[in-house]
Structure 1
Amino acid sequence: MMNFTKMNGAGNDFVITDNRITKTNFTPKTIAKLCDRNRGIGADGFMSVESPENDGDYRMRYYNADGNEAEMCGNGARCFARFVFNNVNRDNVSMKIETIAGIITAEIKEDLVEIQLSEPFDLRLNETIALNNSNENVHSINTGVPHAVVFSERVHEINLKEIGFHIRNHPLFEPDGTNVNYVQIDDDNLLTIRTYERGVEDETLACGTGMVASALIHHQLNEIEPPVKVNVQGGDTLMVSWKYDDGQYSNVTLTGPALSVFKGEINV
């Protein structure tokens, strides 16, 4: 039996378990079954709390709903920190979390959780992708995982599942593909975002690294100053901030809600 907690971060939902003692080897098949919304618990992703290997307090292993391990997840990291604070150590108001993408620092701020991400890289602007009878101007950046960003004045009208699938698998982003964000600029410091997530292969209610990617691309194109508020499909508004000096980003943070939904146990 596996004890688990169902977590929610701005509409992104996750199954998380403390694996430091049991050291269970979770197979992709098992994880996909746990994340199945009809035959399992149902989630956008699965996380396990592991013992640190380097300089972190804890190690986060993150898996997409298809069972494949990913570098990290922004909203997942915020839920991970909330889980540790609630269930492992109430003194851990601040913590360092090891991920494949690097060390993430997290801080519990009452009902909110703030994470500081690793430095973004692989910034590319103004690339053209042909979609049906039109061309999309696509930007991309890696904020822990790769993201494509497209700005649109009709973000609520597009068929994101169809368009997102096409961009996610475009040769520009081979071999592993990318996450896809359609973004509407509501004000200089306010965005609305819809995200098609790689590994979920569908639109999700929120994506933390996608919010960060969209805000940073917005900064690159329009020279706005932080912070930027981002409205997501789940109904929440999150905050993205950063420092930018000599062409380099640092202190990139994402702040928003992360909640425990319920606990249970399940055969694995």
Structure 2
Amino acid sequence: MKPLSSNMQQFFKMQGSGNDFILWDNTSLNLPGELMSRWAETLCPRGFGIGADGMIFLDNPRTQGHDFDWHFFNADGSRAEMCGNGSRCAARLAHRLGLAGREQVFGTDAGAVRAQVKDKGKVRVQLTPAENLQLHSILNFEESSPVNLHSVNTGVPHAVIICDDVHKVNVSGLGRMVRMHPDFAPAGTNVNFIQVKDRGHIYLRTYERGVEDETFACGTGAAASVVVASALGLCANSVQVVTSGKEHLNIDLQEQGVFLTGKADFIYQGMLFLDTFGLKIPGD
């Protein structure tokens, strides 16, 4: 059969707890870093592109002892330091492509991430150390009541708001207000709304910057929620977090750091017609 186009490239679609991603093996694609943002902004919109919360490029390692590096971009083309659910997908794909073994270390903008690819699609990652924990901050708004929240960086910045009933929260509305608040300028923050069911279970809904809406899950947000709840004495150090996508993420707080475990699923792999989107790889 005659090829439909000579300008086609293979991509992978994966999801972790409802967060979906477009992934590329950049060790063979060789896309320059300065073009990656445009690819994410062009291909992540649903209905017009492949559709995803973010885009991940797996690349050759720049640091000795690392199996690979990644470049992560939100759906709006902004670069993010870290993504918990994305890191699990990246680790499983790297293992499948032969870029890394089951035990692996890879470089992110937030630092080195250790991952373990388990059976039945599960991946456990050790996130970068939680930093800048602040409890009981009051955020004031001109047109609404003040909000009591907590914040911590688990690779990317997160605000955490504790609710009596997380299912009744206007996540898009309040999340956008907090995400854009001057106290978090200029980069902004992700916003997590949590309900502590008991010491071993937390319900979570997340407004993600870069997506600019509620997503089905957020791995670093789940970690941030447990770090905050634990600091407030509301939960144990090992917690099952139930996301708005009804998936279960396991967060373990240990002396070595914060560990995130959950499934990372392959959805499909395909060939993208670059011509359709006006994209090209320099030199091709």
**SS of the residue aligned with 1:166?**
helix
CA distance in 2, matches of 1:133, 1:46: 35
Distance 1:27 1:60, change over 3 A: closer
| Per-residue deviation, residues 95-138 of structure 1 (Å, max 9, x unmatched) | 00100100000001112100001111111110111354422111
> Which one is further off, 73-82 or 132-141?
132-141
Give yes or no for contact 2:198–2:235 (8 Å, CA) kept in 1.
no
Which residue of the partner structure matches residue 65 of structure 1? 75
Question: What is the CA distance between 1:224 and its match in structure 2?
Answer: 3.5
* Length-normalised TM-score, structure 1: 0.94
SS of 1:156's equivalent in the other structure is: helix
> Helix, strand or coil: the match of 2:96?
helix
Q: Which runs of 5+ in 1 are unaligned?
A: 245-249
> SS in structure 1 opposite 2:77?
coil
SS of residue matched to 2:169: coil
Residue of 110, 114, 133 corresponding to 2:119? 110
Aligned partner of 1:11 in structure 2 is 18
Residues 1-80 of structure 1 correspond to what in structure 2 (within 5 A)? 1-25=8-32, 26-54=35-63, 55-80=65-90
Q: Name the residue aligned to 1:85.
A: 95
Displacement of 1:172 in angstroms is 1.3
Runs of 4+ in 1 over 6 A off after TM superposition: none
Note the C-alpha offset of 1:169. Answer: 0.8
Give the AA of the match of 1:3: Q
Cross-structure match for 1:247: none
Question: Which residues of 2 match residues 1-268 of structure 1 at below 5 A?
Answer: 1-25=8-32, 26-54=35-63, 55-89=65-99, 92-111=101-120, 112-131=122-141, 132-222=143-233, 224-244=235-255, 250-266=256-272, 267=274, 268=279
SS in structure 2 at match of 1:222: coil
| Rg larger for | 2
Residue identity opposite 1:80 in structure 2: A
User: CA RMSD for the aligned pairs?
Assistant: 1.3
Are the counterparts in 1 of residues 226 and 235 from structure 2 also a CA contact under 8 Å? no
The letter of the residue matching 2:25 is D
**Residue identity (%):** 40
One-letter identity of the residue aligned with 1:28: S
Bigger fraction of residues in strand: 1
Q: Could you tell me how far 1:235 is from its partner in structure 2?
A: 1.4
Residue 282 of structure 2 aligns with which residue? none
CA contact (8 A) 2:196 2:234 kept: no
Query: SS where residue 197 of structure 2 aligns?
Result: strand
Deviations 1:142-168 (A, max 9, x none): 000000000001211111111001000
Equivalent-residue separation in structure 2 for 1:42 and 1:76 (angstroms): 15
- 5+ unaligned residues in a row in structure 2: which ranges? 1-7, 280-284
Q: Secondary structure at the match of 2:11?
A: strand
Q: Shift of the alpha carbon at 1:22?
A: 2.7
Q: CA deviation at 1:12?
A: 0.3
Q: Which moved more, 1:160-169 or 1:128-137?
A: 128-137
Give the counterpart letter for 2:138 in structure 1: T
Is the 8 Å Cα contact of residues 105 and 113 (structure 2) preserved in structure 1? yes
The letter for the 2-side match of 1:122 is N
- Once the two structures are TM-superposed, the CA of residue 223 in structure 1 deviates from its matched residue by 5.9
* TM-score, length of structure 2 as denominator length: 0.89
**Number of aligned residues:** 262
Q: Distance in 2 between matches of 1:115 and 1:60?
A: 14
Q: Distance in 2 between matches of 1:133 and 1:36?
A: 32
Letter of the 1:114 partner, please give it.
R
Is the Cα contact below 8 Å between 2:115 and 2:125 reproduced in 1?
yes
Query: For the Cα contact (< 8 Å) 1:153–1:184, is it kept in 2?
Result: yes
Task: Tell me, yes or no, if the aligned pair for 1:2 and 1:17 is still in contact at 8 Å.
Answer: no
The whole-number CA distance in structure 1 between the counterparts of 2:264 and 2:113 is: 16
Q: 2:195, 2:158 → 1: CA distance?
A: 16
Q: 2: CA distance between counterparts of 1:3 and 1:105? A: 26
Q: CA deviation at 1:193?
A: 0.3
